Amino acid sequence: MTETNPIIGRGNRDGAALFRSWFDDLNSAAQRGEKAAYVFVMGSMNEILKSFDMHVTFPEITSLQLAVRHVAHDYLQEAEDYGYSPDICGYVKADVGVQIRGGKHPMGQIPKPNISVFTNACNTYIKWAEIWERLHKIPIFTMDVPGHRQLGVYSKPGDSNFESDRSYVEIQIRELITTCEEVTGKKFDIDKLRETMDYTNQMSASWARILELNRNTPAVYNALTDGTIFLGVANAFRGTQQGAKYFADLVEEMEYKAETRIGTVAGEQHRLTFVGVPCYPIFRRFNELFSEWGGTFVHSSYLWFASGGTNRGYQYDLTDPVRSLSEGTLLNVRDAMDSMFDQTRMIKNAINEFQLDGVIYHPIKSCRTVSTGLADSRRQLLHDTGIPSLFIESDMMDRRVVSEAQLKNRIDAFFEGLNSTKQRAAAGGM
Ligand code: SF4
């Protein structure tokens, strides 16, 4: 029987196990006082840092784990008592809570950083890293990645604008290598960099394939719930053999499910895309509010920007690693920024490709970067396509601004409307 085939659900099981091992590794690094870097999901530069054998911590991920485990409010309160405003990014405040507690986290000890590396993809990254600079007296490294200059005008490799931006990123990567040599006391090894980039190539090709496989009906995974597990591995294990293998296995599982038409939910009725950052304080319940109506998230902008643009499947040229890393960083981080600020263009393409029935916009209180402008984006999408959409607000960390009852009312009304529209269409009324 297909239901008992161990390949089904393997991605979620292996992903959870890998994730625990990532926390275990951070815990041991903290105990042994080994070198660690704090980085972010949009432009982690994991390939460079792994080539120097550094442990890499993603505070966005360690913070969201606090919300999933229903303890974030304690950490947020501690940071607010310390003087941080209720208005700022909840990830920052949860992390400040962890730092105040000397790195203690429910999943283990988070090591102190020896360096922080971040891009300008989110302005909060820069101010957040300055907190660690002050707290831990560490060097911080800003990778300034130029975005698109004009909506609708996208330079590409070979264009003079693109090549000058790429050179600008390459110079910074070479400076980062020198800084890593100083921090670790190790000499840069270009073959080791090639190896980490090769693993990222394998992972990126698989990630692009995974996203594509959800064009199938029924959808083979839920982009919101399963997708978040995949994203955790994509970030924490980028540039590693384990990460490459995990994603090769995941492709095998999803291709099998597509071939045998095994969907992620029984009775898929409404295919949805999700725009924004998930509601982690009630993560499972939030999804159930949709799945109880037969709604499945087959697609999401989160899987693009929170993978740092890995969705593009970009392949590094290993014959010229540093140059190619600069090109890939520019393309991927730029894509991640577009996925946050200008996702309408991409969603328009997805409507047919993924046979979408509706778009769920989820702006959140504490992430202005992703949420600002979503109301305008929704208006534009409605004007251009007429696709039904829902605009619901809550938060990714702060349970004080998450009202399940209000969310449920809005979501129920959305599905009632969607059902009656479909019924009228089936009856030939529209
Ligand atoms: S403001 Fe948003 S994008 Fe920036 S760090 Fe916070 S959650 Fe991430």
Within a 13 Å sphere around the CA of 76, how many CA atoms are in the beta-carbon half?
24
Cα–chain-centroid distance for residue 65?
A: 13
- Residue with the bigger pLDDT between 4 and 328: it is 328
What is the model's pLDDT at position 267? 82
Distance CA 229, CA 223 (A): 10
pLDDT value of position 427 = 85
Which pTM was predicted?
A: 0.95
Please tell me the predicted confidence (pLDDT) of residue 391.
98
Query: How many angstroms is it from 323 CA to the middle of ligand 1?
Result: 29
Given a cut of 70, whether residue 430 has pLDDT beyond it is no
Q: What pLDDT score does 152 carry?
A: 79
Residues in the chain: 430
Q: pLDDT at position 264, please?
A: 87
Alpha helices in 309-403 (DSSP H): 321-341, 343-353, 368-371, 374-385
| Ligand 1 centroid – CA 317 distance (Å) | 31
Compute the C-alpha angle 213/313/250, nearest 5°. 45
Q: If you average pLDDT over residues 37-64, what whole number do you get?
A: 97
Report the pLDDT averaged over residues 352-381. Answer: 95
Return the pLDDT at 266. 78
Q: Provide the H-helix boundaries in 9-148.
A: 10-32, 46-51, 59-68, 72-82, 90-100, 123-136
CA 40 – ligand 1 centroid, Å: 9
- How many other C-beta atoms are found inside a 10 Å radius of the C-beta of residue 47? 25
Cis omega (within 30 of 0) on the bond before 218?
yes
Mutate which of 87, 124, 397 for ligand 1 pocket (most atoms within 8 A of beta carbon): 124
Rounded mean pLDDT of 257-267? 90
pLDDT band at 1; cut points 50, 70, 90 = very low
The atom number, within ligand 1, closest to the CA of 368 reads 1
Q: Which two tokens stand for residue 118?
A: 């971040």
- Helix or strand or coil: residue 108? strand
How far apart CA 45 and CA 50 sit, in angstroms, is 9
Residue 3 has pLDDT above 80, yes or no: no
Distance 89 CA to ligand 1 centre (A): 6
Q: Is the pLDDT of residue 284 over 90?
A: yes
218-234 mean pLDDT: 97
Identify the pLDDT of residue 154.
87
pLDDT tens figures, 197-212: 999 999 999 999 999 9
Q: Which amino acid is at 115?
A: I
- Distance in angstroms (rounded) separating the CA atoms of residues 12 and 16: 6
Percent of the chain surpassing pLDDT 70:
99
Average pLDDT in the chain: 95
Q: Is the dihedral of CA 33, 27, 104, 55 positive or negative?
A: positive
The alpha carbon of residue 22 and the mean position of all alpha carbons in its chain are separated, in whole angstroms, by 17
Q: What is the pLDDT of residue 429?
A: 59
Candidates 119, 369, 396: which one to mutate for ligand 1, based on the most atoms within 8 Å of Cβ?
369
Range 242-266 average pLDDT: 95
pLDDT higher than threshold 80 for residue 2: no
- The predicted-structure confidence for 375-403, as pLDDT tens digits, reads as follows 999 999 999 999 999 999 999 999 999 99
Is there a contact between 282 and 401 (Cβ–Cβ < 8 Å)?
no
Q: For the chain, give me the number of helices (H) and strands (E)?
A: 17, 10
Mean pLDDT across 21-50: 97
With a cut of 70, say whether residue 38 has pLDDT above it.
yes
Q: What is the mean pLDDT of residues 54-58?
A: 97
Cβ pair 47, 177 in contact under 8 A: no
Q: CA-CA distance, 91 to 7, in Å (whole number)? A: 34
The pLDDT of 139-153, averaged and rounded, is: 91
Averaged pLDDT, 313-340: 97
pLDDT tens track for 57-66: 999 999 999 9
Q: Whose CA is nearest to atom 2 of ligand 1?
A: 367
CA of 233: how far to CAs of 6, 13, 196, in Å? Answer: 20, 12, 15
